[in-house]
Amino acid sequence: MGPYDARCCVMAHQSPTFVMRGSSSPSRLPTSVSGFLDFKPHEPVSDVKIDGFVRSVRAQKRYHFVSLGDGSSLDSLQAVVPADQADGLDIGAAVRLHGSWIPSEGRGQSHELRVERATVLGPSDAKTFPIQKKYQTPEYLRTLPHLRPRIPFNSAVLRFRSEIINSLTKFFGTRGFIQTHTPILTSSDCEGAGEVFHVSAGDPPPSPSTSKTPKPFFRRPVYTTVSAQLHLEALAQALGNVWTLSPTFRAEQSDTPRHLSEFYMLEAEMSFTDKLDSVMDLVEDMLRHISSDLAGSRVRDELLVRTGERASDLATPEEVTQRWEGLIGGSWPRITYTEAIELLKRAETPFVHSPVWGRDLQTEHEKYVATKVGNSKSPVFVTHYPRDIKAFYMKASPEDFDTSLPGATVECFDLLVPDFCEITGGSMREHRLESLLESMRAHGIAPGPSSDGAVESSQQTENNLNWYVDLRRWGCPPHGGFGLGFDRLICYLSGVQTIHDTSAFPRWYGRCDC
């Protein structure tokens, strides 16, 4: 008989004391693996039930040592199962274990479950179960999106998403913002870039016998939304300050670590504000709140754990810690696009793309600015980009903003973070009717009939934006807002290196696996 067998025989003759946190009611027992891992009574607790999935099994003659997880914790719970109760406890199986929660004399855990009855609720064939305890590459796991969340670190990332959403809800609630739900289907292309998915009801082709074209489902072309912004602006005129977290879609033929075809955008609009600084203040306060709120959380600590070969797939704990500290720290620098261009021109670093006023900043430029201005730690706001490279809805900078510039600018900003570049963009919105119409024409977008009834040029892009223009006709106050790439934020704060691994079921160019 081994040491563990002897210990179990002794404990089998003990009368476990039912220990609760201030109550003798079984309803107060933990209900998750993470709850039990935090539950450390000095005496054994009987009548315990734990549900979960078998992560691994180590079989001995009289006992099987089962590692149990349920997605609530990176760590697993150790269950000691008599051999005659261990039938069907294979890797991947969904099980229900009954027994006593006892202090452990073994190494690696303070407590363990001494199982008295085990029930297999969902059997698993360990020989064919694709998720194994050994290291599996991110590329391989992306081929199994329906099973990948069972990897402990992947489930931690998904719990982190939930924690951030909860923190955001608290933040906006204390600021008096109204959470709204904007449509997924739209007849308006917010960005005007044309990188949209067209929606069809699957109408059959016209019959050769009738040659009659079937009636379309909608009256006009419909797309999946690329941004909730335009609809949020409408809601802001009715509700005041509003926000949403909703899926958006881009038909970009891009397979990079920073792009998805379906992703979540956090967007907010502030009504009755005429200062770009107030929008940037909101973004800064929001991200600082999230970081401070979750700095001491279990899931944040779990995201810093690096084990085995998987560590090479993630940013180092030191890098991730520095990112959190940068968000929590002092005020973030704010420079203009023109100042950024001058900084880049003076740089001794050779760039693949030369920095030129009037052209958008490339990733290499954004990384340099974030490193130099933010000292590789603090986020940096870059403001007042040239009008010609920004969207039609952005408000023009005042005429006296900087008369020395080679072209007009708009009141906008991008937020750059070290290592990951741009994660947030925002602007003041053009709330003046004639100025908006002029901007739309300058961007080649047909805004509908002019105020004098004239028809716009047929060479301009058709877009159903008449309703958006109408908002300026009847009581449109100064307002501004921003959009934050939620999945990119998860990447930045978790150390995950690609946006493909922050979404449970990622879709990107060429891939929509389930």
Give residue 453's pLDDT.
47
Give residue 16's pLDDT.
35
Phi-psi group of 308: left, alpha or beta (phi > 0 → left; psi -120 to 50 → alpha; rest → beta): left
Q: What does the pLDDT look like over 162-185, one tens digit per residue?
A: 999 999 999 999 999 999 999 999
Q: Under a CB-based contact definition with an 8 Å cutoff, are residues 52 and 68 in contact?
A: yes
- Other beta carbons less than 10 A from residue 200's beta carbon: 11
Q: What is 150-204+216-449+462-501's CATH topology? A: BirA Bifunctional Protein; domain 2 (3.30.930)
Please provide residue 187's backbone torsions phi and psi, each rounded to the nearest 5 degrees.
Answer: -105, 10
Q: Which helix (H) or strand (E) holds 53?
A: strand 45-59
Who's near 454: CB < 8 A, 6+ residues apart?
Answer: none
- With a cut of 50, which residues of the chain have pLDDT below it? 1-26, 450-461
**The domain 33-129 is classified under which CATH number: 3.30.2000.10, 3.40.190.100, 1.10.10.10, 2.40.50.140?**
2.40.50.140
Give residue 3's pLDDT.
44
Q: Which helix (H) or strand (E) holds 468?
A: helix 466-470
Q: Which amino acid is at 323?
A: R
Give residue 192's pLDDT.
57
SS3 of 196, please?
A: coil
Model's pTM, two decimal places?
A: 0.88
Q: Which of 252, 188, 144 is nearest to 467 (CA)?
A: 188
Residues 484 and 492: their CA atoms lie apart, in Å, by 12
Q: What does the pLDDT look like over 381-420, one tens digit per residue?
A: 999 999 999 999 999 999 878 878 889 999 999 999 988 8
The reply to whether 150-204+216-449+462-501 shares the fold of 33-129 is no
For residue 460 the two structure tokens come to: 């301009």
Farthest CA pair distance, the chain: 97
Domain ranges (residues) in the chain: 33-129, 150-204+216-449+462-501
Q: What is the DSSP string of 380-418?
A: EEEE--BGGGS-TTBPBPPTTS-TTSSS-BBSEEEEEET
Q: Under a CB-based contact definition with an 8 Å cutoff, are residues 182 and 225 in contact?
A: yes
Q: Under a CB-based contact definition with an 8 Å cutoff, are residues 222 and 198 in contact?
A: yes
Give residue 447's pLDDT.
66
Query: Vertex 382, ends 381 and 387: CA angle to 5°?
Result: 140
Give residue 194's pLDDT.
61
